[in-house]
Structure 1
Amino acid sequence: MVLQTFSTQTSNGFGPILDKVLGTKRGEIENFITMDKVDPIYQDPVKIKPTHGITVLTIQFQAHSLHRIDFYMDFCRHAAAAMKIPCTGVIRFPTSIKRWTVLKSPFVHKSSMEVFERRTHKRFLKIHDTHPETLKKWLDYVVDNIPAGVGIRTHTYEFSTPGIGEELARKISATKKINESNLLSRGRRVRPPPLRYWNIEGMASKVAQALAEDPRANIEKVTAKIIEEMKPKTPPMPKKEEKTPPVPKKETNSPKEKAE
């Protein structure tokens, strides 16, 4: 493909002056550089197709300047194409507009107002099927070269083997036990678990059973007694060891006692 342009012919006598100013001749065709010889940096980024379609990173861009965010989006996509990273095209979000109306002058000039607005442009990219180390290098390179006035927010997805939830639950319970033992060793009491961990249904059934056996019983006293019985018990505080003071030695001054 060859880019061509045709210079317009003028019917009046200002044609030679116009040719001199523009540096062209009327009726001539000017040939430009073909598209295959243009540097790839000026072309659209190469889009690499994902192999599995697994999303590993989502990145959102925000800026008030439209040309800066568009230039930075091309920069990120070119960097992803150079590192063989499957990247989606530019996903455009709706532009958020915020307006303020202020008075030009107080008191009687209320009808004279000024309206200011701020437009926030948003863009979105997704990265697929990329090794974590390669993804980290690309993200560090993108963040280091971010222009002024552009903000980014990233969400990274990590994949683990099945059963990771049970392993995390075991680690959390072990950490709780260690913290409770540390509190007890310092002489502090451990708070009972919150109400959501109590057996509310069992408590209510016991109250109903007690009232069925003795209908004249006070429901408040019965409930308080059962709550006290079913209340999760905290471990007792460790007793402090009483240290006996050392017995002072008697000092002898007489020569006979010293000789003995």
Structure 2
Amino acid sequence: MFRNVLQRDAWASRLYPKFLSPKGVRAYSTPSNATGADLTKPASGAVSLDDFVPPVEAMKPTHGVHVATLQLKSYNAKMFDLDFFADFAVRAANAFKVPSGGIASLPIRTSLWTVPRGPFVHKKSQENFWRRTHRRSIKLYDASDATVDRLLQYLRMHEMPGVASKVSLFRRYPLGIMKQIENTDATKTQSEQSVREMADEILRLYEVENS
């Protein structure tokens, strides 16, 4: 969706000029390694999503039929990109008339690795690395399969760098679908058998002509 932070800030300033905080944009656009800030703690000038856009209210489900679950994850400690794209996904669902349960924050997943610092002199020394995965979940309700597919295709077209997505779909089929599948498999088996018989007949005729 955006190639860098400056492109995203320019897009947000054009779309939501009165909700944009220039001071917050400069604070977020400043690299953390240049200021020496700790990525594990929120920065004092960190940007909140409310500085850009007003809070969005998801459409309420009418029947409560769960059709899909969208999971988003990001490794960015400031979590602005993650919340921004989650808000964008809810607004897109509202535009497609797909009710959702809003944005739910999932527990942070921490991964730890311990590796040797190096061979020879530093062989006994070890170094620790860790990574924190921030996640969001959005449940979709009361929509047809075609509408959900169009919504997911739209989100893939506007996906944001640094934010990974995973979708769990729940499809519902009418009664008797297994009989249809069995009939299809039987028809496929019969067609394969007829092809084998035709191939054997061609080989037999070829051998007769060459004998």
Same fold (TM over 0.5): yes
Instruction: Kindly indicate whether the alpha-carbon contact (under 8 Å) linking 2:58 and 2:91 is maintained by their aligned counterparts in 1.
Output: no
Measure the CA separation in 2 of the matches of 1:126 and 1:115. 36
Measure the CA separation in 1 of the matches of 2:171 and 2:142. 12
* Offset of residue 130 of structure 1: 1.4
Change (3 A) 1:68 1:181: same
Range with greater deviation from structure 2 (144-153 or 89-98): 89-98
Letter of the structure 1 residue corresponding to residue 59 of structure 2: I
> Greater Rg, structure 1 or structure 2?
1
* Offset of residue 125 of structure 1: 1.6
Letter of the structure 1 residue corresponding to residue 204 of structure 2: K
Structure having the larger proportion of residues in helix: 2
Measure the CA separation in 1 of the matches of 2:103 and 2:138. 6
Instruction: Give per-residue Cα distances to partners, 1:188-234, cap 9 Å, x unaligned.
Output: xxxxxxxxxxxxxxxxxxxxxxxxxxxxxxxxxxxxxxxxxxxxxxx
Measure the CA separation in 2 of the matches of 1:238 and 1:144. 50
Correspondence 1:43-58 to 2 at 5 A: 43-58=54-69
Measure the CA separation in 2 of the matches of 1:162 and 1:113. 59
Can you give the 5+ residue segments of structure 1 that lack an aligned partner in the other structure?
1-38, 188-236, 246-260
Instruction: Kindly indicate whether the alpha-carbon contact (under 8 Å) linking 2:56 and 2:87 is maintained by their aligned counterparts in 1.
Output: yes
2:145 aligned to 132, 138, 158, which one?
132
How many residues end up aligned between the 2 structures? 157
Instruction: Kindly indicate whether the alpha-carbon contact (under 8 Å) linking 2:93 and 2:99 is maintained by their aligned counterparts in 1.
Output: yes
Instruction: Kindly indicate whether the alpha-carbon contact (under 8 Å) linking 1:97 and 1:119 is maintained by their aligned counterparts in 2.
Output: yes
Instruction: Kindly indicate whether the alpha-carbon contact (under 8 Å) linking 2:57 and 2:102 is maintained by their aligned counterparts in 1.
Output: no
- Calculate percent identity across the aligned residue pairs: 30
* TM-score, length of structure 1 as denominator length: 0.52
2:177 maps to what in 1?
A: 164
Whether 1:72 aligns to 2:85 is yes
1:102 maps to what in 2?
A: 115
2:130 maps to what in 1?
A: 117
SS at match of 1:158: coil
1:240 maps to what in 2?
A: 204
Instruction: Give per-residue Cα distances to partners, 1:100-129, cap 9 Å, x unaligned.
Output: 223445434456543211222232221111
Letter of the structure 2 residue corresponding to residue 90 of structure 1: I
Range with greater deviation from structure 2 (126-135 or 51-60): 126-135
Instruction: Give per-residue Cα distances to partners, 1:27-85, cap 9 Å, x unaligned.
Output: xxxxxxxxxxxx9x722211211111111222222221233222211111122223332
Instruction: Kindly indicate whether the alpha-carbon contact (under 8 Å) linking 2:115 and 2:127 is maintained by their aligned counterparts in 1.
Output: yes
Measure the CA separation in 2 of the matches of 1:244 and 1:90. 74
Letter of the structure 2 residue corresponding to residue 240 of structure 1: R
Change (3 A) 1:144 1:239: closer
* TM-score, length of structure 2 as denominator length: 0.63
1:91 aligned to 74, 89, 104, which one?
104
2:197 maps to what in 1?
A: 184
Whether 1:155 aligns to 2:168 is yes
SS at match of 2:90: helix
Measure the CA separation in 2 of the matches of 1:169 and 1:244. 41
Measure the CA separation in 2 of the matches of 1:147 and 1:239. 58
Instruction: Kindly indicate whether the alpha-carbon contact (under 8 Å) linking 1:45 and 1:81 is maintained by their aligned counterparts in 2.
Output: no
Change (3 A) 1:239 1:131: closer
